[in-house]
């Protein structure tokens, strides 16, 4: 690979990362918006926001996906923890209304 090809690859890869970041953010927004449905269902079912069994199921699934996709499972687990925390925060906001 020469310098011109490397610059082109760098530019194209960064452009694709920017596109993927937008998609990821859209998916995070969609995932977080489902917290409203979950909060309302939990209210009717008289359930706590914190559901350790569900969280363990999520983390187990994520570890399997990480292994299958050959992604660092610790990093992926941290990302999912952030997403579940975001969901719980949103549920708490809804339940306080």
Task: Count the domains in the chain.
Answer: 1
Q: Which domain holds residue 92?
A: 3-96
Integer angstrom CA distances of residue 1 from 4, 17, 67: 8, 21, 32
Measure the CA–CA gap between 7 and 28, rounded to whole angstroms: 31
Q: What is the predicted pLDDT for the residue at 96? A: 81
Which helix (H) or strand (E) covers residue 67, if one does?
helix 52-69
Per-range mean pLDDT, top range of 49-53, 77-81, 93-97: 77-81
Which helix (H) or strand (E) covers residue 6, if one does?
helix 3-44
Per-residue pLDDT of 6-58, as tens digits, reads 999 999 999 999 999 999 999 999 999 998 899 989 989 999 888 899 989 99
Of 50, 51, 77, nearest in space to 66 by CA: 77
CATH of the domain at 63: 1.20.59.10
Radius of gyration of the chain, Cα coordinates, nearest whole angstrom: 18
């Amino acid at each position: 690979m020469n310098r011109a090809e490397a610059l082109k690859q760098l530019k194209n890869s960064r452009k694709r990362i920017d596109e993927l970041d937008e998609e990821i953010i859209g998916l995070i927004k969609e995932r977080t918006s489902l917290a409203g449905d979950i909060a309302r269902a939990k209210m009717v079912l008289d359930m706590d926001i914190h559901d350790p069994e569900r969280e363990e199921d999520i983390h187990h699934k994520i570890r399997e996906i990480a292994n299958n996709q050959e992604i660092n499972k610790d990093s992926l687990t941290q990302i999912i923890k952030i997403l579940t925390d975001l969901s719980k925060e949103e549920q708490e906001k809804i339940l306080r209304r």
